[in-house]
Amino acid sequence: MLQRIFATSGPRQLISAILFAVRNYLSLLICVLVVLSLPLASGQANQGNNQTTPPLAAQPQAAQAQPATPSPAVAPTGPVVILDPAHGGTDTGARGANGASEKDIVLQYSRTVRAELVGQNIRVVTTRDDDSNPSYDARATIANGYHDALFISIHVSSTGNTGTARAYYYLFPNSSASASINSTAAETLQPSPVGFLPWAQAQKPFADASHRLADLLQRELGMRFSGSPPTSSGVAVRELQSVTSPAIAVEISSISAPDPNSLLPLAGSLATAISHAVLAFRPPGSAEGK
């Protein structure tokens, strides 16, 4: 072919023909290369699309929150304190000229004292928590149902300087304030069956313990109620007579205060005094009982 071109044309035409042929050849070669590269590119694309994204590393599960274990309740220790709000019902107790009645005030005192004692992990039972009026024997029976008890009767006096307080233990007739704890019913009563203590003399074996508890309380009262006496007193408080455990009474003055509401704030000081006296008399864990 080149010979024919060379024979029929001059050198210039020959060079042009060669360049034309080379250009066509290169164009053809480029087209072939492009066509051949398409499947490869497509396969790579598909391969890239078909690759499975490796799973993310398993994330550790957050520790499940465990419900907080409640702290075990601490069992009350020490004696059972029997709180006795005096009077109630038709028995109003002392009454002030302003209409205040002892039965209502001592009930409020009892509730405040109870809250204080419970807060000190001391067991508490009340002889009444409403406007009822249990008999003396019924009140004593409640206390006598417990093996380890302290009986505290709460009163408001009809006289005395407002804001003072007194603690009492039971003093039997013809007895001195220092009667021995070993005194027996036979010393003051008619003969009775062996081992039997008359109901009216049930407090007698606990005279000294009651006296000690009353003194502890009076000391606490003296620190909180200015003008109160330094020592407790022995008085025949009827609520204490038949209780077979240490038993005392506390009396706040006085229902004759011009403003009966002035007596209510004294409840907090009374509650603190009683709780301190109880803890001093028989600390938690003490084995002392009836």
- Each residue of 246-265: pLDDT tens digit? 999 999 999 998 887 889 99
Greatest extent of the chain over all pairs of C-alpha atoms, in Å: 173
Q: Indicate the pTM of the whole model.
A: 0.69
pLDDT of residue 78: 75
Over residues 64-77, the mean pLDDT reads 59
pLDDT of residue 254: 94
- Each residue of 196-208: pLDDT tens digit? 668 999 999 999 9
The tally of domains found in the chain comes to 1
- Each residue of 155-174: pLDDT tens digit? 999 999 999 999 999 999 87
Q: What does the block give as tokens for 167? A: 């603690």
Q: Are strands 149-156 and 165-170 parallel, antiparallel or unpaired?
A: unpaired
Side-chain half-sphere of 210: how many Cα atoms within 13 Å? 36
Domain with 87 in it: 80-177+196-281
Over residues 61-65, the mean pLDDT reads 53
Instruction: Report yes or no on 72 lying in a domain.
Output: no
Centre a 10 Å sphere on the Cβ of residue 68 and count the other Cβ atoms it contains: 6
> What is the rounded distance in angstroms from the CA atom of residue 142 to the CA atom of residue 160?
31
- 177 band by pLDDT with thresholds 50, 70 and 90: very low
State the chain's mean pLDDT as an integer: 80
For the domain that residue 138 is a member of, what is the CATH number? 3.40.630.40
> What is the rounded distance in angstroms from the CA atom of residue 189 to the CA atom of residue 50?
111
Instruction: Report yes or no on 67 lying in a domain.
Output: no
Tell me if 246 sits within 8 A of 167, measured CB to CB.
no
Tell me if 172 sits within 8 A of 211, measured CB to CB.
no
69, pLDDT greater than 70: no
Tell me if 225 sits within 8 A of 269, measured CB to CB.
yes
pLDDT of residue 205: 95
Instruction: Report yes or no on 169 lying in a domain.
Output: yes
pLDDT of residue 115: 98
> What is the rounded distance in angstroms from the CA atom of residue 42 to the CA atom of residue 14?
43
Instruction: Report yes or no on 137 lying in a domain.
Output: yes
DSSP lists the bridge partners of residue 152 as 83, 248
- Each residue of 204-237: pLDDT tens digit? 999 999 999 999 999 999 999 999 999 999 999 9
8, pLDDT greater than 70: no
Instruction: Report yes or no on 158 lying in a domain.
Output: yes
Instruction: Report yes or no on 54 lying in a domain.
Output: no
Supply the angle between the helices 266-281 and 207-224 in degrees, to the nearest 10.
140
Q: Is 121 left (phi over 0), alpha (psi -120 to 50) or beta?
A: left
Instruction: Report yes or no on 220 lying in a domain.
Output: yes
Give 176-218 as a DSSP string. Answer: -TT--TT--GGGTS----TT---GGGTTGGGHHHHHHHHHHHH
- 71 band by pLDDT with thresholds 50, 70 and 90: low
Could you give the residue ranges of the DSSP H alpha helices within the chain? 2-8, 11-50, 102-119, 136-144, 207-224, 266-281
- DSSP assigned state of 261: G
pLDDT of residue 53: 46
Over residues 102-116, the mean pLDDT reads 98
pLDDT of residue 6: 44
pLDDT of residue 99: 86
Query: Pick the residue with more confidence: 69 or 269?
Result: 269
- 133 band by pLDDT with thresholds 50, 70 and 90: very high
pLDDT of residue 288: 53
Instruction: Report yes or no on 2 lying in a domain.
Output: no
pLDDT of residue 154: 98
What element of type H or E holds 33? helix 11-50
The C-alpha angle with vertex 255 and arms to 267 and 159, in degrees rounded to 5, equals 115
- Each residue of 182-201: pLDDT tens digit? 333 333 334 445 556 689 99
Three-state DSSP state, 36:
helix
- Each residue of 13-62: pLDDT tens digit? 656 656 666 666 666 666 556 556 555 445 554 555 555 444 544 555 54
DSSP lists the bridge partners of residue 233 as 168
